[in-house]
Amino acid sequence: MADPNLIDLQEIAPAEVGEIDLYQRREKIYTRKIEGFFQRIRLFSGWPLLLGYLLLPWLYWDGRQSILFNLPERKFDIFGLTFWPQDFPMLAFLLIIAAFALFTVTTFAGRIWCGYTCPQTVWTSIFMWLEQKTEGSRNQRVKLDQAPWSLEKIARKTAKHGSWLFVAFVTGFTFVGYFLPIRELFSSLLQLDLGGWPPYWILFFTLATYINAGWMREQVCKYMCPYARFQSVMFDHDTLIVSYDSGRGEPRGSRKREAIPAELGLGDCIDCELCVQVCPTGIDIRHGLQYECIGCALCVDACNSVMDKMHYPRGLIRYTSERELQGERTHWLRPRIIGYSIVLAVMVGVFSYSMITRVPLELTAIRDRNELYVTTDSGAIENIYTLQLANMDREMHEFTISISGLEGATLIGDTVHTLNGGEIRSISMRVREDPELLTQPSTAFTFDVEATDAPDLRISSESRFMKPL
């Protein structure tokens, strides 16, 4: 006799158990071409960034390449400004600002960055456009892949992959051109005289672009990009996301154009699956918000085109919030958005002030710790210092060294030094002082460095002068 206190697991077991193979083969997605309002927006958001990426290395600013990350010389030229390894904290701060701006935008409008400006999205769109031009529409591509090999199929496949490789090569070559003078690199390429490491890096980034945008595509967004994993942390009920209005669209079903949905007991969705066919990640937005959705709004334009043909109101799939789908009002100004915006504005202000007041000069004073002080035969006290002086300007300057804060002190050593642009020099100096003029065992003072040919180019570094107790 069965124990009534025991639970029969068969009664509560699910009727179906699904298994997910994490290593299953990728199922190719055949996207349908669609046009609409949001795709025109993508045209004005993605293409300027693409053209900027391709053209900026070729432009010159103040006689130099506009953007050049010169690793051998350890300097970065960006629109007339030269940055050195000592400026890496500013670069780190800029990356933090960019990440925080992304968080702010995500909280407000979801993955709008992914859908309109992400390089993976832009390059994938280019590769998809080339695929449509060489292999035809969605149905033609499906039939072509299912058809046996023929001269036409070989020609179309060759044209597609050839165009992909050309775009990938231009991308890889341009990327290397940000780290080497691109005009010299192009001249060497024409002469087939690319020696050393450049050919390997060009090949590497060419293959990376070809594989990511041509073959992997949505796999990069779904599995490789970390943004897809932590985006939900920044979402709330008021975040704008691409959503399907199930209250209006369900129950879905096909019908004639002149039919009235209410009389058939149907919603506005005619179940054409056009929203699925245009999705670059292959999801069905009607199943609700999914982490694979990149917010590109292709499904919005596709659905709106169907609604226009059926003479239904637009917006069955639209940018909206979960709160609005539930019949409530979206809260645009909410504490999280206000807090993010204030912090972002402060960070941008601090960074801008740091850039405006930046002095391309660095000075570090290191006191000799082997001997706190030296007493001379005359009874004076000397401290020994090593000055690290870095000229982070492009031009050569002559600098003079002086001290302030020690009345009557004498600076012993060469006080005039000429440094080339980017040069770092270690300078040994002695500071001599009459002990009777010192009231404390440790006295603060500063080393001052000023360019003789540029009075605005000056910097100070604080140190301490030690005397016997």
On whether both 248 and 318 belong to a single domain, the answer is: yes
Domain membership flag for residue 354: no
Between 9 and 256, name the one with better pLDDT: 256
238-288 pLDDT tens trace:
999 999 999 999 999 999 988 899 889 999 999 999 999 999 999 999 998
pLDDT at 160 over 70: yes
On whether both 208 and 238 belong to a single domain, the answer is: no
Indicate the residue among 229, 261, 295 that finishes a domain: 229
Nearest partner of 34 among 132, 143, 147, judged by Cα = 132
CA–CA distance from 171 to each of 63, 70, 186 (Å)?
Answer: 25, 19, 13
Domain membership flag for residue 266: yes
Q: Which domain holds residue 120?
A: 37-229
CATH number for the domain spanning 432: value is: 2.60.40.10
Name the phi and psi angles at 426, rounded to 5.
-95, 130
CA–CA distance from 256 to each of 270, 286, 347 (Å)?
Answer: 9, 21, 57
377-428 pLDDT tens trace:
888 999 999 999 999 888 899 999 999 988 889 899 999 999 998 888 999 9
| Cα 186 from chain centre | 27
pLDDT band at 47 (very low <50, low <70, confident <90, very high): confident
| Cα 304 from chain centre | 32
- Rounded to 5 degrees, what angle do the CA atoms 307, 308, 312 make? 50
On whether both 155 and 182 belong to a single domain, the answer is: yes
Give the C-alpha separation, 127 to 213, whole Å: 6
- DSSP assignment of 288-342: ---TT-----HHHHHHHHHHHHHTPPS-SEEEE-HHHHTTS---SS-HHHHHHHH
Domain membership flag for residue 14: no
186-231 pLDDT tens trace:
999 999 888 888 999 999 999 999 999 999 998 898 888 888 777 7
On whether both 137 and 181 belong to a single domain, the answer is: yes
On whether both 376 and 307 belong to a single domain, the answer is: no
On whether both 210 and 243 belong to a single domain, the answer is: no
On whether both 72 and 109 belong to a single domain, the answer is: yes
pTM over cut 0.85: no
Domain membership flag for residue 194: yes
- DSSP assignment of 137-172: SHHHHHHHHHSPP-HHHHHHHHHHHHHHHHHHHHHH
Domain membership flag for residue 70: yes
Which residues are CB-neighbours of 242 under 8 A, at least 6 positions away?
110, 285, 293, 295, 297, 299, 300, 317, 318, 319
pLDDT band at 174 (very low <50, low <70, confident <90, very high): very high
Residue 299: per-residue pLDDT:
95
pLDDT band at 21 (very low <50, low <70, confident <90, very high): low
Domain membership flag for residue 348: no
On whether both 371 and 286 belong to a single domain, the answer is: no
How many domains are there within the chain? 3
Domain membership flag for residue 1: no
pLDDT band at 156 (very low <50, low <70, confident <90, very high): very high
Give the C-alpha separation, 69 to 72, whole Å: 9
On whether both 208 and 248 belong to a single domain, the answer is: no
Indicate the residue among 275, 306, 325 that finishes a domain: 325
Percent of the chain with pLDDT over 90: 55
On whether both 218 and 240 belong to a single domain, the answer is: no
Which residues are CB-neighbours of 388 under 8 A, at least 6 positions away?
362, 363, 364, 366, 424, 425, 426, 427
Helix (H, G, I), strand (E, B) or coil at 60: strand
Whether 56 and 69 have beta carbons less than 8 Å apart is answered as no
Residue 377: per-residue pLDDT:
86
Output the average pLDDT for the chain. 88
Give me the mean pLDDT over the 31-47 stretch. Answer: 89
On whether both 139 and 86 belong to a single domain, the answer is: yes
pLDDT band at 298 (very low <50, low <70, confident <90, very high): very high
Indicate the residue among 198, 229, 260 that finishes a domain: 229
On whether both 262 and 181 belong to a single domain, the answer is: no
Domain membership flag for residue 244: yes
